[in-house]
């Protein structure tokens, strides 16, 4: 497989937002770059590139991960959900609706990761307490909002999720 | 500067036999890659000098948590999230659960592994102090065979350990204790969350009528390796708890650790905080 100082690309097959994707990538290419550059899913952002800021967060087999720290080969055979796969068509997810309602987004760089973190949190704890919300969002940095509106959006999303027709949870 | 990605290989063996075969045939060429939460950071920073990695992700033999009557055995690929969610670990090994919960973000905890935390060999790693306090044993496996050894003593110096190039860490064993111990874990970092420790302290003790019957103390970020403070333990074992013994133990601990100035803290601050944490731990025992 090694030719000189470089390796060949390998075949990777994974399900992204429900759709089977087949592509070729260098083994250590980052999932983040595959999503953005190969699959043109540019909703996932790059912030720090070292697993600190959460801007590149996606769901892998339902669990939140930082896609900047996942080598492409590790995504082979796995189920990935990005921010583009959170809404159902034109129907926003309850979390997305709540972010709009509460002004949880400003510049927008952290927003996809924040929404992913909130969805991951609510999937596991449909009624999170304040501490759980803080812990659920602790891996996502925001430089604009001061976090209060994001926090409020998660609280709102949980209330909304309790009433039917509010989202696709 | 970012690394040149095409120059890195990451092989995914389908079985443990295949993985061990590759490590035996080309020792030192292939470095194990578990959750990748440390290695990928180095890659991104252009500081990952090793080029060929062996992914452990498909090796089922390195996964799972097994509970027996006298121990809990965690596969090396057990994630921090799996640790936190395990009922026996929650009940009997709370320091390990606390360490798992304080390691990075949830996204990191979903990927990072206990085995990776050990073999990455950072003196600032969060789970090793807990493992030392629990007298953990580790299982190393290679084509030459399998052997168990105490985790205490596995690390010999900064990033150095008793792991041959053809060996993998397969599992970590925690002996279950008949009687409950009083336990204490505290990590001090720049922030309460998402920070690498300046000092990390894990302690456990068995008390009997105000006397310390037995005690374990382990520390991260204050020596080239995660340290079991055996001299401080000796100074405390059998002693009646009181201000004098606490003061003496703090002096012993100061001589036992070797903190340094680095990007995260200073030697002076680390020494003071370490002593304060010892005092806090011992004060809790008196209550």
Distance, in angstroms, between B70 CA and closest chain A CA?
Answer: 32
* Residues A1/A8, Cβ–Cβ less than 8 Å: yes
The Cα-based distances of A46 to A124, A158, B239 in angstroms read 25, 28, 55
The domain B182-286 is placed in CATH, from the list 3.40.50.20, 3.30.390.50, 3.90.330.10, 3.40.190.10, at 3.30.390.50
Please report, for chain B, the start and end positions of each structural domain, with discontinuous segments joined by +: 5-55, 60-175, 182-286
Strand spans (E) along chain B: 9-11, 31-33, 52-55, 65-67, 71-75, 137-142, 145-150, 155-157, 160-161, 168-175, 182-189, 197-208, 211-220, 227-228
Nearest to B149 by CA among B161, B136, B158: B136
Interface of A with B in 47-76 (CB under 8 A): 49-52, 54, 57, 60, 63-66, 68-71, 73-74, 76
Question: Could you tell me which chain B residue has the CA closest to the CA of A113?
Answer: B107
Beta bridge partners of B184: B203
Residue ranges, chain A, pLDDT below 50: 1-3, 165-169
Contact, A115 vs A95, CB < 8 A?
yes
| Residue A6 DSSP label | E
pLDDT tens, N- to C-terminus, chain B (287 residues): 678 999 999 999 999 999 999 999 999 999 999 999 999 999 999 999 999 999 999 999 999 999 999 999 999 999 999 999 999 999 999 999 999 999 999 999 999 999 999 999 999 999 999 999 999 999 999 999 999 999 999 999 999 999 999 999 999 999 999 888 999 999 999 888 888 999 999 999 999 999 999 999 999 999 999 999 999 999 999 999 999 999 999 999 999 999 999 999 999 999 999 999 999 999 999 87
Contact between A61 and A78 (Cβ < 8 Å):
yes
Q: Could you tell me whether strands B197-208 and B211-220 are parallel, antiparallel, or unpaired per DSSP bridges?
A: antiparallel
Q: Which positions in chain A touch B41 (Cβ < 8 Å)? A: 50-51, 69
Query: What is the C-alpha to C-alpha distance for residues A43 and A59, in angstroms, rounded to an integer?
Result: 13
- CATH 3.10.20.30 domain span(s) along chain A: 2-83
Specify the residue for token string 């496996």: B141
Considering the domain B60-175 in this protein, what is its CATH number? 3.30.465.10
Q: Are B104 and A138 a contacting pair at CB < 8 A? A: no
In this structure, what token pair is assigned to residue B243?
A: 């201000």
What ipTM score was computed for the predicted complex, to two decimals?
A: 0.93
Beta bridge partners of A59: A64, A81
Counts for chain A of helices (H) and strands (E), in that order = 5, 7
Please enumerate in sequence order all residues whose Cβ is within 8 A of that of A6, keeping only pairs 6 or more positions apart, or say none. Answer: B6, B7
Q: Which CATH number fits domain A94-162: 1.10.150.120, 3.30.70.20, 3.30.2130.10, 3.40.50.720?
A: 1.10.150.120
Quote the pLDDT of residue A4.
Answer: 59
Secondary structure of residue A27 in the 3-state scheme? coil
Residues 126-165 of A with CB under 8 A from B: 135-136, 138-140
Under CATH, domain A2-83 is a member of which superfamily?
Beta-grasp domain (3.10.20.30)
Write the DSSP symbol of residue A88.
Answer: B
Give SS3 for A166: coil
A6 touches chain B (CB under 8 A): yes
**Phi then psi for A30, rounded to 5 degrees?**
-80, 140
Burial class, B16, CB count within 10 angstroms (exposed 0-12 / middle 13-18 / buried 19+): middle
Contact call for B108 and A51, based on CB within 8 A: yes
Closest CA to A60 of A49, A38, A44: A44
Q: Domain B5-55, CATH 3.40.50.720 — does that match?
A: no
Residue A76 neighbours by CB under 8 Å, 6+ apart: A12, A13, A14, B12
Closest partner residue to A71 among B40, B107, B108, by Cβ? B40
Mutant choice from B37, B100, B106 vs A, greatest count of A C-beta within 10 A: B106
Q: Which of B5, B11, B107 sits opposite A139 (nearest CB)?
A: B107
* Per-position DSSP letters for A103-156, written without gaps between them: T--SSSSSHHHHHHHHHHHHHH-SS--HHHHHHHHTT---SSS-SHHHHHHHHH
């Amino acid at each position: 497989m090694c030719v000189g100082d470089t390796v060949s690309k390998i075949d990777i097959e994974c399900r992204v937002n429900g759709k089977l994707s087949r592509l070729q990538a260098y083994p250590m290419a980052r999932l983040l770059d595959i999503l953005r550059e190969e699959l043109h899913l540019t909703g996932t952002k790059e912030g720090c590139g070292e697993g600190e800021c959460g801007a590149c967060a996606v769901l892998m087999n339902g669990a939140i991960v930082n896609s900047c720290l996942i080598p492409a080969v590790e995504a082979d055979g796995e189920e990935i959900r990005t921010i583009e796969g959170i809404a159902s068509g034109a129907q926003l997810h309850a979390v997305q609706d709540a972010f709009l309602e509460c002004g949880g987004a400003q510049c927008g760089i952290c927003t996809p990761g924040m929404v992913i973190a909130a969805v991951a949190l609510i999937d596991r704890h449909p009624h999170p307490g304040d501490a759980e919300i803080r812990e659920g969002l602790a891996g996502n940095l925001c430089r604009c909002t001061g976090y209060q509106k994001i926090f409020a959006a998660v609280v709102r999303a949980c209330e909304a999720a309790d009433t039917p027709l509010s989202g696709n949870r | 500067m970012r690394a040149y990605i095409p120059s890195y290989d990451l092989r995914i063996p389908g079985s443990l036999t295949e993985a061990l075969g590759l490590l035996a045939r080309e020792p030192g060429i292939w470095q194990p890659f578990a959750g990748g939460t440390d290695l990928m950071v180095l890659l991104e920073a252009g500081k990952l000098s090793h080029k060929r990695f062996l992914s452990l992700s498909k090796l089922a033999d390195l996964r799972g948590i097994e509970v027996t009557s006298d121990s809990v055995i965690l596969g090396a690929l057990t994630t921090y999230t799996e640790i936190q969610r395990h009922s026996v670990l929650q009940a009997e090994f709370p320091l390990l659960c606390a360490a798992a919960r304080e390691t990075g973000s949830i996204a990191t905890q979903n990927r990072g592994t206990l085995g990776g935390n050990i073999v990455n060999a950072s003196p600032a790693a969060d789970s090793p102090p807990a493992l030392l306090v629990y007298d953990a044993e580790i299982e190393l496996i290679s084509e030459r065979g399998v052997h168990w050894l105490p985790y205490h003593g596995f690390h010999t110096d900064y990033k150095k350990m008793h792991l041959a190039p053809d060996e993998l860490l397969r599992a970590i064993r925690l002996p279950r204790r008949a009687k409950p111990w009083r336990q204490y874990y505290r990590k001090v970092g720049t922030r309460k969350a998402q920070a690498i420790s300046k000092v990390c302290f894990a302690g456990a003790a068995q008390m009997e009528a105000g006397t310390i019957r037995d005690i374990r103390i382990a520390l991260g970020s204050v020596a080239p390796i995660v340290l079991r403070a055996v001299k401080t333990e000796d100074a405390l074992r059998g002693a009646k708890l009181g201000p004098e013994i606490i003061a003496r133990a703090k002096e012993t601990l100061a001589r036992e650790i070797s903190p340094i100035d680095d990007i995260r803290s200073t030697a002076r601050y680390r020494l003071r905080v370490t002593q304060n944490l010892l005092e806090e731990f011992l004060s809790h025992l008196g209550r």
